[in-house]
């Protein structure tokens, strides 16, 4: 996504008047703060009528509903394979795989990745950081998934 310098400066110069008292995160609009506060309160007022799964934001429910409808509005103009995707983020990740682009490089060992999350996992191996704990065992883990 390309934005102009003027747009970038406007976005980053705006005052963030609405602050989360729990984490200190700030927002430009009160409605954004309210949406964020639902996370702390455990509120999930938007429920999928198909499966009952609930969400804190309407936009998250809308994305989820594509699972049930099969809607896949995103296609790649660069790839000629014809694959379509329900999420734009999945399309972007696929395009990197398709082109071989690996923009995330470890400064420690030089290994490159398609996704930032894969780089973060490797960096935690190098630093031995283990930020995740299990409720079933006192061990600490460097990744949430296997």
pLDDT score, position 98 = 82
Boundaries of every domain in the chain: 72-100, 104-141
> Which residue in 122, 125, 124, 142 sits closest to 133, CA to CA?
142
> How far, in Å, are 101, 117, 118, 126 from residue 105 at the CA level?
11, 11, 10, 13
Whether residue 28 contacts residue 18, with contact meaning beta carbons closer than 8 Å, is answered with: yes
Q: For the domain made up of 104-141, give the CATH fold.
A: Double Stranded RNA Binding Domain (3.30.160)
Q: What is the pLDDT of residues 7-36, one digit of tens each?
A: 666 666 667 788 888 888 888 888 888 888
Q: Which residues of the chain have pLDDT under 50?
A: 1
pLDDT score, position 32 = 86
- The pTM assigned to this predicted structure is 0.52
pLDDT score, position 29 = 84
């Amino acid at each position: 996504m390309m934005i102009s310098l003027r747009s970038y400066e406007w976005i980053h110069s705006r005052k963030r008047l609405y602050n989360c008292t729990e984490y200190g995160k700030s927002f430009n609009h009160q409605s954004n703060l309210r949406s964020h506060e639902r996370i702390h309160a455990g509120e999930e007022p938007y429920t999928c009528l198909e499966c009952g799964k609930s969400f804190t934001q309407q936009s998250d429910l809308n994305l989820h509903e594509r699972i049930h409808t099969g809607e896949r509005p995103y296609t790649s103009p660069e790839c000629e394979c014809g694959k379509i995707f329900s999420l734009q983020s999945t399309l972007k990740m696929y395009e990197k795989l398709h082109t071989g682009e690996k923009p995330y490089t470890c400064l420690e060992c030089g290994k490159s990745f398609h996704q930032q999350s894969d780089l973060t996992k490797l960096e935690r191996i190098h630093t031995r950081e283990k930020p995740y704990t299990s409720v079933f065992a006192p061990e600490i883990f460097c990744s949430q998934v296997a």
